A and B are shown apart, each in its own frame.
Chain A
Amino acid sequence: EDKVVQSPLSLVVHEGDTVTLNCSYEVTNFRSLLWYKQEKKAPTFLFMLTSSGIEKKSGRLSSILDKKELFSILNITATQTGDSAVYLCAVSRDMRFGAGTRLTVKP
């Protein structure tokens, strides 16, 4: 059965810290891995990764995929309180989501 596991499940840091969120997966017919940020309501898209070793960046956030070892990481540098959210990883072929990592950034 397809599986997506995120770690840690929750994380508390202080502003300015750097965090690394992990997503490991076992899926058949992998097509893509996506990261979403969920604050109070609907998830919003961060990155889509399809190829190994190519880093995607957006401001202080970056992500990379390792298709050999079947995992991805999401890095957030110089964290801010506005980064507090649940970060979700989803893997397709059937867009299976992990349980999420709840990140809390304290002032």
Chain B
Amino acid sequence: NAGVTQTPKFQVLKTGQSMTLQCAQDMNHEYMSWYRQDPGMGLRLIHYSVGAGITDQGEVPNGYNVSRSTTEDFPLRLLSAAPSQTSVYFCASSYSLAGGGRHYEQYFGPGTRLTVT
């Protein structure tokens, strides 16, 4: 099993550009999520999904879109990049018991380091 994979590992964007961060998992997990990690701030939840076709906002959703068309994939779209979105982005997944996946152990991908200039 590859676990949770993320691409790209590094990305530099100019302000106003858009891009998609890719996330895939091969563990058949229902629950998937996106976090951003900034220095001294731990991880903050951007969006999450409890299954294909179902997404919801987390703590810091502004400026990001997600969709979940398959169990395996959960891409994160930056609509118009801003310097405030410079961060390390982690995708995570977990098994879900009646939609409660966010309460359980999460498996994290290796992260994408994004810089917006």
Contacts and interface: CB of A to CB of B under 8 A. Distances in A.
A95 B44 contact: no
Given A41-B111, A94-B58, A96-B59, A88 B105 contact: no
Contact of B45 (A6, A32, A42, A95): A95
A99 B100 CA distance: 24
Interface in B31-59: 33, 35, 40-45, 58-59
Interface residues of A, number: 23
Given A88-B42, A88-B43, A95 B102 contact: yes
Contacts of B58: 94
A98 B44 CA distance: 9
A92 B103 contact: yes
B43 A41 contact: no
A97 B105 contact: no
Question: Chain B CB within 10 Å — which of A92, A94, A95 has the most?
Answer: A95
Contacts of B33: 95
Interface in A77-107: 88, 90, 92-100
A53 interface: no
Contact of B40 (A41, A42, A99): A99
Instruction: Give me the 3 closest cross-chain CB pairs, A-B, nearest first.
Output: A42-B108, A97-B42, A31-B103
Interface of A: 4, 6, 9, 31-32, 34, 41-45, 48, 88, 90, 92-100
Interface of B: 33, 35, 40-45, 58-59, 90, 100, 102-111
Given A45-B106, A92-B103, A99-B42, 16 more contacts: A6-B42, A31-B100, A31-B103, A32-B103, A34-B105, A34-B106, A41-B110, A41-B111, A45-B107, A93-B103, A94-B45, A95-B33, A97-B42, A97-B43, A98-B42, A99-B41
